[in-house]
């Protein structure tokens, strides 16, 4: 790739030069996932957690016509203040945004693509996108799943967002050959809830074991990502009936309003936070922090192999 399109922060440049472990972080969660100022505080704390656990954070976005790998505090604050005025950017949008100098907050798929360009193997996020409920009629399937199928980045998340059809999401990942690893769990976490009714492919109980699997996978030339499903801490896990009712109500209202495409997830997350009196937002923040910690531990272990 032509280097004129990518720009690294000084911290990331130094880490790459020294061979230090890195963890990619997305920016959609800043601009579209949470209100200001919680979004900025959460993003800065995510970076601190990664550093505290031995790795270097690389928050990714598109700014001023560049793929930015590593953001300053000022750039993070800019994304947080601008919020939904920053375009939510999937893989599909990357070239257009750069050519048109449109600032973009990167989704899971876009962050994975840019992380892979930079040689970053581990990415920590909240929850991945997946197969939406009713996809048999709408064909609404997140680009995150296709990116996992072809991009060599391990994604640490609290499973798939519980607004999705979790069973069909797992079926899609199986078809694409993407391993789904449960960290200290046999069951797929469901974002706000620590568990669901669906089993993961493999359970692994240490970051070192996960790192060894990643090294083996890529040594064998098995391309594509790995989904590492890390349950939300039990203190923040929400009651399944409560969250399911909030999701049903939010989806019904979204359908009435005719909201579709990439606006669905931000709308549903905001509506669910309102319906749960902010409890879902607190859970969202807790699970992201938990994933950043595990992502850093896996990156450190992988860096030693």
- Active-site annotation, residues: 26, 161
Whole-angstrom CA distances from 92 to 107, 111, 143, 144, 240 are 11, 12, 9, 11, 34
Q: Up-side HSE of residue 200: CA atoms within 13 Å toward CB?
A: 26
**CA-angle at 151, arms to 146 and 153, nearest 5°:** 120
d(CA 56, CA 51): 6
Judge if the upstream peptide bond of residue 37 is cis by omega within 30 degrees of 0.
Answer: yes
How many residues would you count in the chain? 305
Q: HEC states along 120-178?
A: CCEEECCCECCEECCHHHHCCECHHHHHHHHCCCEEEECEECCCECHHHHHHHHHHCCC
Burial of 117 (0-12, 13-18, 19+ CB in 10 A): middle
d(CA 189, CA 198): 8
């Amino acid at each position: 790739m032509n280097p004129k399109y990518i720009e690294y922060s000084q911290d990331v440049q130094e880490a790459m030069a020294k061979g230090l472990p890195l963890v990619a972080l997305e920016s959609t969660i800043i601009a579209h996932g949470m209100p200001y100022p919680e979004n900025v505080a959460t993003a800065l704390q995510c970076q601190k957690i990664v550093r505290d656990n031995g790795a270097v954070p690389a928050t990714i976005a598109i700014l001023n016509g560049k793929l930015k790998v590593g953001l300053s505090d000022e750039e993070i604050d800019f994304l947080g203040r601008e919020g939904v005025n920053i375009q939510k950017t999937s893989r599909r949008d990357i070239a257009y945004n750069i050519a048109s100098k449109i600032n973009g907050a990167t989704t899971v798929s876009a962050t994975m693509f840019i992380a892979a360009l930079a040689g970053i193997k581990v990415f920590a996020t909240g929850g991945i996108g997946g197969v939406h409920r009713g996809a048999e009629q709408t064909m609404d399937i997140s680009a995150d799943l296709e990116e996992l199928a072809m991009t060599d980045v391990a994604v640490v998340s609290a499973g798939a967002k519980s607004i999705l059809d979790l069973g069909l999401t797992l079926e899609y990942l199986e078809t694409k050959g993407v391993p789904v690893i449960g960290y200290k769990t046999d069951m797929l976490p469901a974002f706000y809830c620590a568990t669901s009714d669906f089993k993961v492919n493999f359970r692994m109980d240490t970051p070192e074991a996960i790192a060894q699997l990643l090294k083996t996978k890529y040594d064998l030339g098995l391309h594509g990502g790995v989904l590492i499903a890390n349950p939300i801490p039990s203190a923040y896990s929400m009651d399944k009936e409560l969250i399911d009712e909030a999701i049903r109500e939010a989806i019904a209202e979204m359908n009435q309003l005719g909201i579709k495409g990439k606006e669905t997830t931000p709308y549903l997350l905001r509506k669910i936070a309102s319906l749960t009196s902010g409890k879902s937002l607190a859970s969202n923040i807790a699970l992201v922090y938990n994933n950043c910690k595990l992502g850093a531990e896996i990156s450190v272990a992988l860096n030693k192999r």
